[in-house]
Structures are given as C-alpha cells and as structure tokens.
Structure 1
Amino acid sequence: MISPRSAFNLETAVGQARVGCQRVCWQGATPPLATASKKEQRGQRTAWRLKRICSAVTWKVSAAVVKIVHIHGPFQRKERGQLPFLGSSSPFAAEPSLASVRPCPAHHHQKTKSAAWQRFLCIKLRKKILSAALTPLQA
C-alpha cells in the first residue's frame, strides 16, 4: 500500500515504439600493417534492422520480448506511437531532505566520455532536490 506521504508520478510516457536501421560496417579485420590493396578488398556488411521499444520506463527490450511483440502484429498496429505510462514512485518527493543533497565525486566525471553533460545533470538534480526540500509538502 502506498503511504499518504509518498508521491506518485502519473506523467505520460516519453518514448514510443521505434524501428530503425543499423549503419553499414566493414566485415572482417585487417592487420595493422596490411597493404592498401588488402584493405580495399574488404566487403561491407549490409544494414540490418533494429527493432526495439523505448519508453520512459524500459529503454531496451531483450530479443525474446521483441519476438513476442512482432508475433502480435495486429496489437502492435493499434498500439503504435506512444507507450502507456503506468506511473512511478519517487523517494525524493516523499520526504525531501537537505542531507540527500551532496556534490558528486570528482572521479565520477572523469570516467565518462561526456563529463560536461554529467556535471550538468548532477547540478540540475541538486537544484531540483533543493527546491523540493525548501517547499513544504502540500496535503
């Protein structure tokens, strides 16, 4: 049972069922000191289809689930577009506290490729938590 103080998010889903195509890549590998003629003889692999369902809750779906989705073709046509969102429970909105707001460790940003983007998200999350902590909960 959900406690009266816990928050429940009923926003709409962000993602939708998508079908794309993987880019073409070169087949096989050549040794580092291969001649130019050997590199030219490599063939290209044909592009293959990507069939995955993306949403706010599930970003990637396994191959078994994709097969089940494609078996039910008529249902997929009806549900094409935005996926239903069943809601989520947020522990931060239930009881915000200033103790949960702490700076991210410096090594966290150095390990990722997009360090600036990670820093931006951490700052945005801290601001959101602080604003939720400073506003009183409405009954």
Structure 2
Amino acid sequence: MILGLYEVHLPVRDLDKSIEFYERLGLEFDHRIEDRLAFLWIVKDQSWLGLWKTDNVELEYHPSIRHIAFEVSLEGLRNSVTWLKEKGCEPRKAFGFEPVEPFVMPNPREGFGHAKIHFNDLDGNSLEFI
C-alpha cells in the first residue's frame, strides 16, 4: 500500500531565505502559497518539502518533529563535509561523533550500519545526509 514518503514540512522564520538555503542544497522550488508556505521538490514529481513561515520556530527540538534525513549517494556522502561547507552549511556533532567526516551508526538488528552526517538549516531544524 505505502510506496514511499511524498512530503515533509518544517517551520521557518524567513520564507525567502529558507527557499534560498534549500535551493543551495539542490532542491527545486515549485510554488508558494501567499507569504506563508512554499514547496520545493526533493525528488522532482516524487517527494517535496513544505516550508511554513511562522514566528514560533523555537519549539523544543526533538527528532520526531524537526528532522529530515536526505538519501544521498555513497560518493556524495564521502564529499558531504566539504560540499556542505562550500554551500555555507556547518556539519555538526551527532551521537558523539565530531563532524570531520561521515560516521557509521551500527544497526545490529539489520546486520549493517548507516553512514551519515548531520547539519542544521537556518532555523535549527535537524538535517541529515544518509
């Protein structure tokens, strides 16, 4: 029945600056509704990100409400720290790992691990390349 994830939404303070930020990451702007909501394609015609303008982005962070993990290629992940810095993003420490390179989180239940790097958007929403 479920084929994938179609959309996710995040709160942002400044819609124009956030649109520019996500375009720098490679997302494609699609449309906006007035000055309160914008949609950008993560994967064209498959999945998109909704950005909601609000004065209240100061919600206490919890990964269940302000986190997106973007799937990237292994080669992209290998170059992610340099690539992010070139885009004006600063990778951040996560799970005790310093952001000098992607790190692997073991998944003993599945018998493999996930390589990833974490960073934040302009409003402190947690982003991840995995």
User: Where is the helix percentage greater, Structure 1 or Structure 2?
Assistant: 1
TM-score past 0.5 threshold: no
TM-score computed with the length of structure 2 as normaliser: 0.25
Which structure has more relative contact order (CA 8 Å, sep 6+)? It is 1
Larger-Rg structure: 1
